[in-house]
Structures are given as structure tokens and as C-alpha cells.
Amino acid sequence: MVNVVRTNIRRAERAVVDRLQAFGVATVHEAQGRTGLLGPDIRPIWRGARVAGTAVTVSLPPCDNWMIHVAVEQCQEGDLLVVAPTSFSDAGYFGELLATSLMARKVRALVIDAGVRDVRDLTALGFPVWSRAVSAQGTVKETLGSVNVPVVCAGALVNPGDVVVADDDGVCIVPRREAGRVADASAAREAKEAVSRERLRAGELGLDMYKMREKLARAGLVYDDSPPGE
Amino acid sequence: MVNVVRTNIRRAERAVVDRLQAFGVATVHEAQGRTGLLGPDIRPIWRGARVAGTAVTVSLPPCDNWMIHVAVEQCQEGDLLVVAPTSFSDAGYFGELLATSLMARKVRALVIDAGVRDVRDLTALGFPVWSRAVSAQGTVKETLGSVNVPVVCAGALVNPGDVVVADDDGVCIVPRREAGRVADASAAREAKEAVSRERLRAGELGLDMYKMREKLARAGLVYDDSPPGE
Amino acid sequence: MVNVVRTNIRRAERAVVDRLQAFGVATVHEAQGRTGLLGPDIRPIWRGARVAGTAVTVSLPPCDNWMIHVAVEQCQEGDLLVVAPTSFSDAGYFGELLATSLMARKVRALVIDAGVRDVRDLTALGFPVWSRAVSAQGTVKETLGSVNVPVVCAGALVNPGDVVVADDDGVCIVPRREAGRVADASAAREAKEAVSRERLRAGELGLDMYKMREKLARAGLVYDDSPPGE
Amino acid sequence: MVNVVRTNIRRAERAVVDRLQAFGVATVHEAQGRTGLLGPDIRPIWRGARVAGTAVTVSLPPCDNWMIHVAVEQCQEGDLLVVAPTSFSDAGYFGELLATSLMARKVRALVIDAGVRDVRDLTALGFPVWSRAVSAQGTVKETLGSVNVPVVCAGALVNPGDVVVADDDGVCIVPRREAGRVADASAAREAKEAVSRERLRAGELGLDMYKMREKLARAGLVYDDSPPGE
Amino acid sequence: MVNVVRTNIRRAERAVVDRLQAFGVATVHEAQGRTGLLGPDIRPIWRGARVAGTAVTVSLPPCDNWMIHVAVEQCQEGDLLVVAPTSFSDAGYFGELLATSLMARKVRALVIDAGVRDVRDLTALGFPVWSRAVSAQGTVKETLGSVNVPVVCAGALVNPGDVVVADDDGVCIVPRREAGRVADASAAREAKEAVSRERLRAGELGLDMYKMREKLARAGLVYDDSPPGE
Amino acid sequence: MVNVVRTNIRRAERAVVDRLQAFGVATVHEAQGRTGLLGPDIRPIWRGARVAGTAVTVSLPPCDNWMIHVAVEQCQEGDLLVVAPTSFSDAGYFGELLATSLMARKVRALVIDAGVRDVRDLTALGFPVWSRAVSAQGTVKETLGSVNVPVVCAGALVNPGDVVVADDDGVCIVPRREAGRVADASAAREAKEAVSRERLRAGELGLDMYKMREKLARAGLVYDDSPPGE
């Protein structure tokens, strides 16, 4: 079991990352076939942020944040730090000092399958964080982990350089090599939804717009217009 | 097992619904004898809304939102959609397109014992939603359910046409035929609380105002004014 | 088993309480050796408050808030009410009327290992509350408990007169006799962090600032700069 | 809000109840169209029991078991007690003395959406219990509830006299008037499964037996027999 | 923050401990006024054990079991080890080797507010354990904690030398100086229950035996013997 | 998004699988550097089984078990089926008929990040299952997934052909190409533990055996033998 920091990773292209950022999580997740979503316990510590970035991944032991300090050095502008403990913990691995350091490197956000603290300061700084918990309980710096290895974060596989998209709906991972294709599919989906939205706003029913009535009848749905009893 | 859409339901009167809306959940719940409350895991996706509406109910299979599309057509102005899967799921059954469609019909809100998505858009639209989770994970449209049948939603029985009251404290169901009586009881309760509030604000103690001292003494409460040890 | 109200307690000094309030939970918790933190399920009902106060403690039976009414009388300016049921409950023990009464006595906040209601009103009043849940489900007034006895609240021991510090990160208890020492240690910690913050903001790495590189190498960390495969 | 004990209820017929008992929960639940299942947090305190009985229902306040004592008198041979607090609680509402009393009346089991205690004794007595929790924390006897009114228990509606079927898979409610029809459907389902079981045991594939291959192909499933990479 | 091992503690008397062991958790908890119960998430890893012992307490950092090794040396015959991490963790702090060491010292059991592993071996050894989780995830040995200091374990305060009673209902703490009194109260309670048990077994109703009927009537309970509708 | 069944996978060698089976989860997990463990919510439906098998993996939509039927055909003697829904669900995806079919193919066990049913029958059959829940709630057969693709199951990455080791402590994944090395390391670990076990059983302290005393002193641990206060 060697603990390693991979210093040389391929990242998804910035232009594609930025396109994905604009679409948001729900659209991107649908556009790539409903894969890559982190579990719904990972929530933003403040509302309204929508970001995408290239993943720098951290695998670390529970209750030990030493490797986050190591990972900072591997971060570049446009990256997004993804932290996954090897065992469940809701302690606070990350606070305002680490955020200051990441912001100095133009890192876009943090996604962590654990807890964070200093959320008042993080909010004031405008640094976006998605986490499982908020806790003032600190961690130690005793045991190694690895940086830029594949990690499982809240049920999703993340490879370094993958695109991480995050907003109020949660967090979704787009594999690096799929990013362009998924951005195209997202754009197509959004265009289609824009049309649907206008028709629905005008009062058209989804039943008609999506042509569901016949399929419902075939499935045996019964409409009962008998008068209600008292 | 027939899947049915009841198109003809009795609804509580709009005037009573609007009275109940003004009182809010905690008052209404007390006024009707502490019944009808949904479990506390059902939370608003944004804070500050207070609504009441007449229930259009949807019973649907887990991870399948087909029947929500069917239910939209049954909704009228002043209604509030209540969605209950037949098995636990925290997937996202509902998003901004369905909200657009409901708003076109002047539906007041959604209460769902499952997850929703597009919460940034729903918040921007000002459409109130109470849900168990936020998740970008979509659902399928394969299996029938029923509309306007009695459902159990987060532990409470809801009949179509019942009044649903919802605010930051949660969600409470008022049976259609009780609505007038509960509105009256709520008004009485609120009037009484207004008096209490003024007396408490002026510094009077609840112990005196509610005449609790004698009952406490009878129950054996001891006041100990001995000096504290170090 | 006698139920008692201790009317005569020693409180931490106001000046020290106010110093601790300024530091916030994460700093105070670290400064006193990572003890005294309540579990992370205790969350603020609204964001942005930071308070410290002297604990008036309430031990009460589940689903019964009678003793909170008793406790109000024991509260003084600068106190903070700490409520711990003897068995798990997420019902709503506390609402806007009790808050009005506490505010009339200049009590600073409530921490409760259970639920509260009227959160819209509590937010409008600006009364800070940390709780495990929000629920409109009321409680009864039938069974005695005790006031100003030691209680365990969300996993932390609280003695009457201890300092309770609370903010968006959670809640931390500082024993009365430690308060001065902890305030000094907090000040020292904050001064040190101010220096670190400036250096990190200027782009210095924590790896260098905290002199971690040698220890990492000794622990066996490997840097791998081989080119990534496709 | 009147608290009532209905002393005169219709019960499902014993013969039908006993037929349903033999089929067990999974079969009965399927046979009645996947309705009536209690949530999976309701688990047996000991393994291996399979019972069905006619429901005597109890609605009671949280942390108060007074109405269970009232309900005992309403129980007859072949009944099964169903207890639902009006708010969440995991305290221990029921123990060995109440079980002794129910056994003296030939009650078949208890289903409770809360906690029980004395589980070692209950196991030794062979009295089956399905509960949400085990807890030694007792309850009070202060506040009324009702007996033999409709209750929602762990998400399912239960009317007095309904059939309750329970085994290691959980608990399922069969409405009284559906009981005969559901027993017939269960028998049909079981007969069909017996045939399937033999064919599967002999090595036939479900893919063939259920004729799934064509539907899978139409849905677009791809079989890839390329050699694995290293 | 000094980490300390107190080597010289007072223990409750063995004879009293053994009396309490015979009564079990539910009786002892009631007899001491419903205090001292650990939360219901602490469950036995195997069923049927009933033990009591004198507490040797361990406070340790999350995910670090070093102090358990230190605590073993402090254990004597008749002790029961109580382990409480300072932050939530469900990792496996304890396994078969540590159990072997404790059994060599005639320690009676382990209570831990975290996880354990090797449960198959622990069961075969007959060593009783109450824990929050089972997990093969190990811990490190890097950071100090303390032995024989007061700890909060699963919501209950435990002082070294206190009596810990544990069985299938959970775990209850009896303060050392209360142990004799609680044992007497437990005996009285058990004697009274033995009489009740016989009367209930003979078919007498609790309503009569506890003389509840008048109090129920005063509280307003209504018996409705009208014939059921269809 | 293509749904695929890979029919041609490499499997770990049977002899190595059987060696790993003998060691059990805790030993194997340690021996491979504390990686590959599924989360502790995955529990055996009956106690005492210890198995290892080669993974046939199934990725399927929530509440839909169609792909399990597809996967059966891909299973060979010595395999172990691993099922991971793409979104959380605790419905019952698997029961006695599917187990019969797997047993006919000499499949060793099932690991599923969801629910199962017919647990009484599964126990009687002696078919080992590790699952997140037990639920009679069935699933549909409407939507495709994939077989023998990499899946994330309860937080762990599983590739087809990997070794899955499972016992009462949980479930651990050993990558196919690491299996031999991990078996060797497990054997070494077990040999070492056998020696430790004997020394501990004879009363030697871990403090001495692991030579911890000096490191504890360096870390600042204080032994306090002052007499206890009253």
C-alpha cells in the first residue's frame, strides 16, 4: 500500500468545463445518462452557487486532514478539490484557512464526503463548499493518504481531471473524456426544454405535449367522474 | 388493483382555506387537537413561504413520476399537489418544468414525500415546495398509480379536497369537513395567544400567567436555594 | 429521585463570556483541547448568529415542556437556556411565546436537544435557537424535571453557569472555571491564525509554512510525476 | 377532539386470517397490488415468527402508553395489537407485563411504531413483536388517546378489524373487506411460484421462463463478448 | 489539556454489582428514576447476555484506539470497559485480540459508542459487547486520550467505578454511590411486578389492577358501543 | 449511454478466492491496506456465514430488478453477485426464487446495496445475503442497466472478476490482480496474530507486547495515582 501524490494529470479542457458549469447538475446528469451523481446527503453550505471545475482528488484516512494540505500544492486555476475519507466521518476537515489557501490558487470549490467548519467565514468569503456535515470538531495530521488517485466520493467514482459540476441540486461527476459529448447533449436537452417550458407556461398540458394519453390508456388507467360521496 | 383518476372531488371552500393559510401550521395543528401533522423530515426547499391549498393527491410507484403529469390536469386554482410514493425514495420526482405547468394552473405549492430538483429555479420562480430531499436523480415514466385517492404522506392521511397548510414549521392536513371548525378554533387560539404575548413581553412569568405554581408544588417540585459549592 | 430547581448558581463572568462570544465555536473548541462540543445534529434555525451566554440547564421528560416554563424564572440577563430531554424526541418543545418571555429577561439564546416550532416568528424576532429538529408537534405539561442540575445535551456535559458558545458551526460548552483560561488560549490561537491567513492569502503553501515536507517524506509519501496514461 | 374507545368493531373472519398467515408478507403484499406495507424500519424483535391477526388499533400521544392498558380490554382471541404514537418516539412503550396480559387474552402479536423493552423476556415468552426500536426508556400514563379508530402506523393506514400479516420481511395490512379476495390471489400466486421454483431449481433461466429476451433486445440491451483487457 | 490515566479509582462493591446484574436494565433504569440510560443505537452484538460491571472509562480521539490498549492495564476482575470517542465514528475500534486480553483480566464486557469488528470471534468467545456499529474498518494509534476520567457515552455520563448494567434492552449507568439504594429499589420493584404478573396471567385487567378506570373517566375518555357501519 | 452485458470477464483464481474466504473480512481488509470495505450499513441477513466469490456486477436503476434476471445467466460456480442501484432505494429487489436460480448455478452469495425479501426462506435455504435493508416492497422490470461493468457498491468500487469477501463484519472487495498478494499478506497477518493471541491469553499486556510505553510517555501521557476523592 503505497501513498502517492500524482503530480502530472490530464485535466478536462477549461472551455468545456465552463460550458458544463452553465448547465447545472440536473441537466448534466440527465445528459450523460443519469450517471455520476453523488448521494443527496452532500449539500451546499450556502445556497446559490453553481460551479464546475477539474477534479484534484484526495483519499485520506478518517479524521485526518493532512493530505488536504498536500493537495493544495497540486491545485491550479480552475480546479475543484474532491476529498473522500476512507471511512465515514462527520468531523470538520476543512475551514477558512485552507479556503484562503485554495482561493489564492484560484481553486473554484470544495466537495467533501465529510464535515467542514468556519461556515460563517466560508460564506463571507464566497467560497463554495458541498459537504455531508458542518462540525467544529477538528482532525489530526498523522497518517498519509494519496492525491490524484481514483476515489469514491459519496457513492460516485471520481478520477483526477474529471469535471465536477455542483449547484443547489447536488454534485455530478463528468468523466474527462466524456465532457465534450456531455456538454453537447446538455445543450441539446436545454434547447428542447426551453421549448417545452414556453408551451407549459402557456397552459398546454404535459399529457398532450408528451403524447402520454394513449400509453396511459393502454396501461389501463381509468378516469372516474362519478360524483363524490359525502 | 385498479389505477384510477378521480376527476370529480369535493374541495374545501376557498374562503376557509385562506383563513387557515393566515394562521400557519403550529396554530392550526394545535387547534385541531394535534392531528394531521406530516413528519419533520418534510422541509421547505426555501424559507418564508406560508400557504394553504386544497389537496389533489397522487399515489405513485417509487422512482416513477408519470402520475404527476396525469395529476396536473386535475388541478385547479387554489389547489396544492400532494405526492406520496408507495415506497421510500429520495430521487428527484419534480423540477422546474412541472412547476411551470402547475403555476400556469394557479396551483399554490407541492408537498412530496420524496425528492425534488432544480431547486435554484424553483426558488427563483417563487414556487413553494416541501420535500424530504433534494436530488438531481430523475425518475421514469413506466408504471401507473392513482390520482385523488386517499394517500398516506409522511405519516399523515390525506384525502382529496382536504386543506393542506404549510410553512417553515412543516405541513399539516385539515380534513375538508373540519376546516371551518378548525379555522374558528385557530382564531380563538390566536386571540388568546395575542393577550399572552403582550403579558409575557411585559415581563410577566408564564408560571404566574398560567397559574402553574400550585400544580408544581403538588407534583413535588423542590426549590433549593442553598449556596453553590465551589 | 427528587426533582429540584436550584435557584442559586455561580455563573461565569460576563466579561469572559463576551470575549468567548467574539471568538466563535471553532476557535474556542480548539483552544480548550477539543472538548465540550455538542453533536453536529444540533443546528441553528437561522444562519449568522454568534452568541455566548451562561447556561441555565433544564432536564425534562420526553415530550413534556413544563420545566421550560419553570426555568424562565431562573434566567437572568446574559443567560442562555440549555434544554435536554431524558429520552430522544423531535417534537416542538419551544415556540414564539416562550421566546418572547426569555427576551423580556434578556436571555441570549436557546440550545435544545429536541425540536422547536414557530421558526418563522423566531427568525423575525431575531432570537437565536440551536435545535435538533423543527416540528409543529407540541408537548404536554404533566411531569416534573429539574432546573440547574448537570445535564448531558447532545453528547456534552453542561453544568449550570458554564459558558455556552454557539454559531453556524454548532455549539461548544466551556466549563465555568476554565472560561478565562480558554479565552486567553482563544486569543492566542486567533492571533496566530491571523498571521497564517495573511501568508496563505499571499500564496505561501501550508506545506512550507507548517514545515510538513520532511515529516511527509519520513512517513513515506511518494511523489509520482510520470506522464498520465490516456 | 374527543378521545374514544370503540368497543364494537367488525373483524375479518378467522378462517381468512389464518389463510393469510400461512402465505406470509411478501406474497400477500404482491397479491393485493403492492399496498399496505409498513416501512422497513419496523422489524421483528426476534426472528422466525409468522403471524396474522385482526387489528385492534391504538392512537396515543408520544411517550405515553396509557391507552395500551385501555386497549387490552378490547382485545379478543385472534387479535393483533397495532400501536401508533401521534409523533415520533423510540421510547419503550411495552414490556413483559403487558405481553403477559395480552397472552392471557390470546392476542397473537404486537406491531408498534415506537420502541419496546424486556425483549429478553418477550423472546422467552414467544410473544411476537414488530417495533421500530428497543429501549428501556419508559413512558408515562397522563394523556388520553383512542382505541379502534383508523391509525397511520409506519406509513400504512390501519382500520380496526383489518388483517395484519407479519413475518421476518415486515408487516402488511389487508383491509377487512379485501381479505378473502387477497387470500385467493395469494394462493394463486403461490401455486404459480411453486412451478417456477421447480423449473429454476432444475436450472432453467428466468430469462427463458419469463420470456424476457425479446423485450430486452427491443429495449436495446447489448451483449458484448469481446475479450477482456488486462 | 493534559491526558491522564487515573490508576486509583473507587469501584462500586462487587456484591451490589452482582445484585444489579440480576435485575437487568429495564428494572434498574426505572428503579433509579429513569436516569442513566444510553441511547438506543447502542445494541448488543449478540443476544442473551446480561452483565453488570464497574466502569473503567476511556475517552479517546475519533478513529484512534490507542487508549484502549492503555486502559486494559487498569482493568480488574469485575470491571466493564466503557469507551467514548470525542467525535462520532463508526469505525471498528475493538476486535478479538483486545477481547482476549480483557478476558485474561476477567473483564466482563465492553460498551463502546462506536464500532467493533471480529464479531464472529467475539460471539464464539462469549465476550459481550454493546456497540453502535459493526465495521471491519480499523483505527490508528497516534493520539492520546484519557483513562478513568468522566466520559459521556451515547448521551449518558459515566464516572469511573460506576456500575454499568447491560442486556438485550440496552445499557444503563448507576452512579457508584447510588448503587446500593438502586439495588434495593430494584428488588422492591421486581417483587411488586411478580405479583402483578401473576394477576395479569390469570386474566385480571391492568385497568382494574392499577385502578385506572376512574382517572380515565375524569380525563374524558368515551366508550362508544354503537354498531359499526359497513 | 449504452446498456451492456459483458459476457467475457476475467475472474480471480478459485484457489486464491478460497484462501481469502478462510481469512475473513477484517484480516483481508487490513492486509490490503484498509481499502475496499463497503459501508457498515450493509449487513448479513443471517449470522455466521463467511464466503468469498468472484464478482458478477449489476448496475441497475432504482426500484427495478430486471437486470438481476439478466445477470443470473452470466454467473458461474464460485461467483458472488454484486448489485448496485444507481440511486438509493431500500425496496426488496431479490427473494427466494432468484436465490433458487443462483443456487442452481452454484453462486455463493449476494451483496446488494438495497433491500431483499423472503428472508425466512433465504435463511432456510442457507443462501448468504448482505443487504442494506429487508423489505417486502417489490420492484418493476422496465428499465435496462448493465452487467459486468465497474460499479460503486456502498462506497466501494467493484470490477467484475474481483474477489468479494463477506462475513459478519461486513464486505470487502479485493481487486482481481491483487488477490494473490493480499492472500499472502493475510496469511502473514494471521500468523502474527496467532502469536499475539497466545501471549495476550496468557496475560501479557499489549502495552508491553507492542512496546507502547515509551511512545506514550513521549506523547505526554500522565499516570496519576493520587487517591480518589469521595
- Chain-centroid distance of CA A1 in Å reads 29
Q: Are A86 and A8 in contact (CB under 8 A)?
A: no
Angle at C177 between CA C171 and CA C181, to 5 degrees: 80
Count Cα neighbours of F19 within 13 Å in the Cβ-side half-sphere.
Answer: 16
For residue C108, give the nearest of C165, C179, C65, C153 by alpha carbon: C165
Q: What percent of chain D has pLDDT over 70?
A: 99
| Confidence tier at D1 by pLDDT (50, 70, 90) | low
Read off the pLDDT of residues C23-79 as tens digits, 9 standing for 90 and up. 999 999 999 999 999 999 999 999 999 999 999 999 999 999 999 999 999 999 999
Q: What is the 3-state secondary structure (H, E, C) of F22-41?
A: HHCHHHHHHHCCCCCECCCC
pLDDT beyond 80 at A229: no
CA-nearest residue to E194 within chain D is D97
Chain D residue numbers with beta carbons less than 8 Å from the beta carbon of F147 are none
* At least 3 CB pairs under 8 A between chains B and A: yes
Read off the pLDDT of residues B44-60 as tens digits, 9 standing for 90 and up. 999 999 999 999 999 99
Q: Are F77 and F54 in contact (CB under 8 A)?
A: no
Which residues of F lie closer than 8 Å to D, measured between beta carbons? 2-10, 66, 69-70, 72-73, 90, 92, 95-98, 100-101, 103-105, 115, 117-120, 123, 133-138, 141, 143-144, 161
Which residues of B lie closer than 8 Å to F, measured between beta carbons? 61-64, 86-91, 135, 137, 140, 142-143
Asked if F169's CB is within 8 angstroms of E70's CB, the reply is no
Task: Please tell me the distance in Å from E116's CA to the nearest CA on chain D.
Answer: 20
Kindly state the average pLDDT of the residues C149-155: 97
Task: Please tell me the distance in Å from F42's CA to the nearest CA on chain D.
Answer: 15
Q: Please report the pLDDT score of residue E230 as a whole number.
A: 61
pLDDT beyond 70 at F113: yes
User: Could you report how far apart the first and last alpha carbons of chain B are, in Å?
Assistant: 72
| Confidence tier at D2 by pLDDT (50, 70, 90) | confident
Q: Please report the pLDDT score of residue B205 as a whole number.
A: 97
Count Cα neighbours of C202 within 13 Å in the Cβ-side half-sphere.
Answer: 9
Q: How many other CB atoms sit within 10 Å of the CB of residue D176?
A: 21
pLDDT beyond 70 at B1: no
Q: Which of A7, A10, A120 comes nearest C48 by C-beta? A: A120
Asked if B10's CB is within 8 angstroms of A228's CB, the reply is yes
Q: Which of F32, F150, F155 comes nearest A155 by C-beta? A: F155
For residue B108, give the nearest of B144, B79, B131 by alpha carbon: B79
Read off the pLDDT of residues F139-167 as tens digits, 9 standing for 90 and up. 999 999 999 999 999 999 999 999 999 99
Neighbours of chain A (3+ CB pairs under 8 A): B, C, E, F
> Which distant-in-sequence residues (6+ apart) come within 8 Å of A213 by Cβ?
A207
| Confidence tier at B230 by pLDDT (50, 70, 90) | low
Kindly state the average pLDDT of the residues B26-38: 95
Which residues of E lie closer than 8 Å to D, measured between beta carbons? 24-26, 29-30, 34, 37, 40, 43, 47-48, 50, 167-170, 172, 193, 196-197, 200-203, 205-207, 210, 212, 216, 219-228
Kindly state the average pLDDT of the residues A198-222: 97
| Confidence tier at F230 by pLDDT (50, 70, 90) | low
Write down the H helix ranges in E62-131.
66-72, 96-104, 119-125
Q: Please report the pLDDT score of residue C57 as a whole number.
A: 98
Kindly state the average pLDDT of the residues C111-134: 98
Neighbours of chain B (3+ CB pairs under 8 A): A, C, D, F
pLDDT beyond 80 at D74: yes
Residue A220: is it exposed, middle or buried by C-beta count within 10 angstroms (0-12/13-18/19+)? exposed
pLDDT beyond 70 at B171: yes
CA-nearest residue to D123 within chain E is E48
| Confidence tier at E89 by pLDDT (50, 70, 90) | confident
- Mutate: best of D7, D112, D117, partner E, most E CBs <10 A: D117
Read off the pLDDT of residues F186-224 as tens digits, 9 standing for 90 and up. 999 999 999 999 999 999 999 999 999 999 999 999 999
Cβ-Cβ pairs closer than 8 A, A with E, add up to: 48
Task: Please tell me the distance in Å from A69's CA to the nearest CA on chain C.
Answer: 6
Chain E residue numbers with beta carbons less than 8 Å from the beta carbon of F227 are 8
Task: Please tell me the distance in Å from E135's CA to the nearest CA on chain D.
Answer: 21
ipTM for the predicted complex comes to: 0.95
Chain F residue numbers with beta carbons less than 8 Å from the beta carbon of B88 are 89-91
pLDDT beyond 70 at A156: yes
Asked if B140's CB is within 8 angstroms of F142's CB, the reply is yes
Which residues of A lie closer than 8 Å to F, measured between beta carbons? 1, 32-35, 37, 39-40, 61, 86-88, 150, 152, 155-157
Q: Please report the pLDDT score of residue B213 as a whole number.
A: 97
Q: How many other CB atoms sit within 10 Å of the CB of residue D217?
A: 11
Task: Please tell me the distance in Å from E132's CA to the nearest CA on chain A.
Answer: 13
pLDDT beyond 80 at B73: yes
| Confidence tier at C1 by pLDDT (50, 70, 90) | low
Asked if C105's CB is within 8 angstroms of B212's CB, the reply is no
Q: Please report the pLDDT score of residue B89 as a whole number.
A: 87
Chain F residue numbers with beta carbons less than 8 Å from the beta carbon of A34 are 1, 61, 86
pLDDT beyond 80 at E71: yes
Please count the helices (runs of H) and the strands (runs of E) in chain B. Answer: 8, 12
Q: Which of D9, D10, D136 comes nearest E169 by C-beta? A: D136
Neighbours of chain C (3+ CB pairs under 8 A): A, B, D, E
Average pLDDT in chain C:
96
pLDDT beyond 90 at C230: no
pLDDT beyond 90 at B209: yes
Kindly state the average pLDDT of the residues F121-133: 98
Q: Please report the pLDDT score of residue C196 as a whole number.
A: 97
Asked if F37's CB is within 8 angstroms of E136's CB, the reply is yes
Q: How many other CB atoms sit within 10 Å of the CB of residue B176?
A: 21
What is the distance between the alpha carbons of residues F191 and D159, in angstroms, rounded to a whole number? 61
Task: Please tell me the distance in Å from E80's CA to the nearest CA on chain F.
Answer: 17
C-alpha cell at E89: 465514528
* At least 3 CB pairs under 8 A between chains F and E: yes
